[in-house]
Structure 1
Amino acid sequence: MEFIFAFIAGALGISQYWANVIVSAIEAGSTVLALISLFASFGLTSALILTAQSLLKKGAKKTAVAY
């Protein structure tokens, strides 16, 4: 079932849900390499994840999700 959601989200672009999942994973301490391997199918780049990570360090969770 999760594969179906992942496939749909990948086909339509990253949804708000997946953006929140990525931000939560960063907050939980996931490494950039782990996130890239998990979400590479969505076309995420390391630059995007690193930028979101730096925004979170500054305390800008809503900005990180929007980014």
Structure 2
Amino acid sequence: MWIKWRTIHESYGLPRMAQECRRYLETRGVRVRLLAQRTKRAGHVYVLQVPAEEREEAEQWLRRFKQTLQ
């Protein structure tokens, strides 16, 4: 069965933030995939994706995580 993946976060430069978000979501039981792409100008882009059916839950967890950082 195919899984439709949806992007919920993009980071440019170093993968630190994307890795922290991935770890946080995985500890909450959300399946996550992290993709890295090389670009001409920004260097690297790190894309955090979750399955389409888990998107709403993952976005709520990600919002909570970002609020704790502020």
Same fold (TM over 0.5): no
Greater strand proportion = 2
Greater helix proportion = 1
Q: Look at both structures and tell me which one has the larger radius of gyration over its CA atoms.
A: 2
